[in-house]
Amino acid sequence: MRYPDLAVLTIQSLAMYQVISTFSGIGGSSQGYKQAGLKVLASVEFLDYQAANYRLNHPGTKVYQSDIRTLEPLAILAELGLRPGDLDVLDGSPPCSSFSTNGIVADGWGKVKQYGNREQRTDDLFFEYIRFLEAMQPKTFVAENVSGLIKGVSKGYFNQFFEAFESAGYKVSAKLLNAANYEVPQIRQRIIFVGVRCDLGLNPVFPQPFGKIITASEAIRAYQIDKSEDVSISDLQREYWNMTQPGQSMEDANFRKTGRKGWFSKMKLHPLRPANTITAHAGDDLFHWKEPRHFYTDELKALQSFPNDYRLEGSRIRCTEGVGRSVPPKMMEAIARTLAREVLDKIR
């Protein structure tokens, strides 16, 4: 499976529906909208090195490199020549590390924590996205978050967000989508909120699974890989790598050696399956199935469905972090195409 290169990507315009992306990172969701034929007018990103890589790949998009709390949504609309209600899609993936995958609210709720190379509170950012939604009143919105948001005590916050969307004037639906169902070679389950402004008289929609599953090895084979990076592993990691079968965690190897728990996030990927979830720590947590090493940044880009020539500059740790925090472009492309066809095309 080869993903389209930026340089040769042919985009069929869907009336150039306009998008503003918040918490945009290096631009995974924006790339998905672009591949679906939509136009991303502006993006908001807090981290300077993520915003820099966004600019490399989306030169036509205005980037607000700032804490979203300091921005006025109506001022942004005015700068773009828009009024409330004009925007077609408000996109956002607010960081929500306080929700674990098992639905337990982390002890750090409400506290300033490390995020990339900065420190900030992240658990209130979903409400900042809602503030933008209330002010901008776009025709539709798409918001992405971790699956832990619908589990355990975290579900109370899910309900709170859902009610806030409805109070802002939207018909809302939320669904757990697996990126592997949309030509992303990765098991990545995320909650996707889709909303349609109530006055438009249409319902939220989601893409149907494509039916074709792409394996990790299939995706990487189609890529041209820059192998100049240092992806070597430690002697202990090599020992555990030898004790671990493809598709398994190194947790068992660690327990057999030390009698202690740990290493559960260290995974030796299986070549004939989609990859495990690519996270911000994938550069250190994931290991190749055939060679005792970590993955090159280009390989992780392939597993996130980025185009081969999607440019990233900076240290390996910052580049792999950016890849891991991204919404897979192919997944967002599927969401955007469905939203354009089933909602936006019907109201233009």
Amino acid at residue number 77: L
Listed range (2-6, 193-197, 208-212) with the worst mean pLDDT: 2-6
pLDDT at 99: 63
Which fold is adopted by the domain 216-324? DNA Methylase; Chain A, domain 2 (3.90.120)
Q: What is the pLDDT of residue 16?
A: 85
- Residues 6-213+329-347, CATH architecture: 3-Layer(aba) Sandwich (3.40)
Q: What is the pLDDT of residue 235?
A: 98
Where in the sequence numbering do the catalytic residues fall? 96
The confidence score (pLDDT) of residue 348 equals 84
pLDDT tens column, 111-157: 555 455 545 556 689 999 999 999 999 999 999 998 888 877 778 88
What percent of the chain has pLDDT above 90? 82
CA 58 to chain centre: 16
For residues 28 and 169, give the distance between their C-alpha atoms in angstroms, rounded to a whole number: 28
Average pLDDT over residues 171-186: 98
Instruction: Return d(Cα 268, Cα 37) in angstroms, integer.
Output: 36
Indicate the pLDDT class of residue 56, thresholds 50, 70 and 90: very high
Alpha-carbon distance of 11 to 9, in angstroms, equals 6
Q: Which pLDDT band, with edges at 50, 70 and 90, does 102 fall under?
A: very low
Q: Is the pLDDT of residue 301 over 80?
A: yes
Tell me the pLDDT of the chain averaged across its residues. 91
Note the pLDDT tens digit of each residue in 14-54: 558 999 999 999 999 999 999 999 999 999 999 999 999 99
What pLDDT band is residue 110 in, cutting at 50, 70 and 90? Answer: low
- List, for residues 316-347, the tens digit of each pLDDT value: 999 999 999 999 999 999 999 999 999 999 99
pLDDT value of residue 320: 98
pTM of the model: 0.92
- Predicted confidence at residue 13, as pLDDT, reads 47
Q: What is the pLDDT of residue 4?
A: 60
| Domain boundaries, given as residue ranges, for the chain | 6-213+329-347, 216-324
Structure confidence at residue 121 (pLDDT): 56
* Predicted confidence (pLDDT) at residue 10 exceeds the cutoff of 50: no
Per-residue pLDDT of 73-85, as tens digits, reads 999 999 999 999 9
The pLDDT value given to residue 215: 98
Q: What is the 3-state secondary structure (H, E, C) of the chain?
A: CCCCCHHHCCCCCCCCCEEEEECCCCCHHHHHHHHCCCEEEEEEECCHHHHHHHHHHCCCCEEEECCHHHCCHHHHHHHCCCCCCCCCEEEECCCCCCECCCCCECCCCCCCEEECCEEECCCCHHHHHHHHHHHHCCCEEEEEEEHHHHCHHHHHHHHHHHHHHHHCCEEEEEEEEEHHHHCCCECCEEEEEEEEEHHHCCCCCCCCCCCCCCCHHHHHHCCCCCCCCCCCCCHHHHHHHHHCCCCEECHHHHHHHHCCCCCCCCEECCCCCCECCCCCCHHHHEECCCCCCECCHHHHHHHCCCCCCCCCCCCHHHHHHHHHHCCCHHHHHHHHHHHHHHHHHHHC
